[in-house]
Amino acid sequence: MPRVLIASDKFKGSLTAAEVADAVASGLRRERSDVTAISQPVADGGDGTVAAAVAAGYQLVPVVASGPTGRPVLSGYARAGDTAVVELADVAGLVRLPDGRPAPLTSTSRGAGELIAAAVDAGCTRIVLGIGGSASTDGGSGLVRALGAVVLDAHGTKVGEGGAGLEAAVTVDVSALRQRMSGVEVVVACDVDNPLTGPKGAAEVYGPQKGADAFQVTQLESALAHWADVVAEATGTDHRQVAGAGAAGGVGFAALALLDARLQPGIELVLDMIRFQDRLAQADLVVTGEGMIDEQTLHGKAVAGVAAAARAAGIPVVAVCGRNVLDAATLAAVGIEAAYALTDVEPDVDRCLAEGDRLLSVLGQRIAAVHLGG
């Protein structure tokens, strides 16, 4: 009886990771009725990270928190023992912008801090923070303020939310933050090495992706540099040029400078979190996947991480995707025997998006016929 571990990321804009697994499993069973399909959604630290934790047995704890514009949203964290998994994308990410309208100067990371606060107040002493998909460029100020940091202007008034508010910052008091987070370990899933400021910094590189025009990018760059000065004055250490400080609009910076966080590649952190090695021991074949397999896949994405772990365990890996632009030799070099794309079945991309579950089932059937002896 063949055992297939389906460890896919989401197909962005089309299917969740769990839906991908269900569709592939249905095709596998159509070809081989004796197959045992094991679903384990994965993520690289962005959206889908909490879902991966819940699928691995963590408990979802619902929390109402601030969205990127301050509007309350229903989010939550995943918990197992004293560990909490917080996903910035779900509470303060681009997907939470009302009507999808960006607010590059005022969007805040506060909601992620509110989730961490809820977890810490509930007794968690280890926070796994996924920061992909951020909507803000606020230097992580919203996050740390939600945890007790107080940022004041020259008049002793709390500064406004978002990156633009940092221009008025004069002091940051971290005493309450330190007290609240005493004894709490923070590990951040981070796949970028950008510094906070400069040509490769948070504002210059990622600001336009969050709706900032050229003038706003300049404004945000100045505000982040000023924020780094204020934090350095308060802590005695300047973290602005540390690799990863520019992640998530500067959340990486705040985590490093004010939470004493450790940064770790997202897929590595997620695979450790869900005890992926234990799940590999149950499998004869691994099916991984994501919406697009391209050069980015090779650099810290879920598919490459799953393939590396499976190859190290001596288990064959195939991939499913919406579209694949890598050749067989490139795939083989990262441990993927073959990639099966929706566009191989249906060239119309719009139909692939609309009928992804049906087409994935077809691919699942093909995978069973080729790789399970049909």
75-99 pLDDT, tens digit per residue, is 999 999 999 999 999 999 999 999 8
What pLDDT, in 10s, does the model give residues 12-55? 889 999 999 999 999 999 999 999 999 999 999 888 999 999 99
CB within 8 A of 242, min separation 6: which ones? 195, 196, 253, 256
- Boundaries of CATH 3.40.50.10350 in the chain? 3-41+277-371
Q: Which residue in 191, 107, 185, 170 sits closest to 143, CA to CA? A: 107
pLDDT at 160: 95
- Boundaries of CATH 3.90.1510.10 in the chain? 49-267
Centroid of chain to Cα 277: 20
Which two tokens mark 349? 């991309």
What pLDDT, in 10s, does the model give residues 326-365? 999 999 999 999 999 999 999 999 999 999 999 999 999 9
- Spell out the SS3 assignment of 32-77: CCCCEEEECCCCCCCCCHHHHHHHCCCEEEEEEEECCCCCEEEEEE
Sheet containing strand 338-341, strands side by side: 36-39, 3-8, 285-293, 317-324, 338-341
* CB-based burial label for 198 (10 Å; 0-12, 13-18, 19+): middle
Architecture of domain 3-41+277-371: 3-Layer(aba) Sandwich (3.40)
pLDDT at 100: 86
Give the helix/strand (H/E) hosting 313. Answer: none
pLDDT above 90: percentage of residues in the chain: 94
Q: Which pTM was predicted?
A: 0.93
Q: Hey, which CATH number is domain 49-267, 3.60.20.10, 3.90.1510.10, 2.30.30.90, 3.40.50.1000?
A: 3.90.1510.10
What pLDDT, in 10s, does the model give residues 279-315? 999 899 999 999 999 998 988 789 999 999 999 999 9
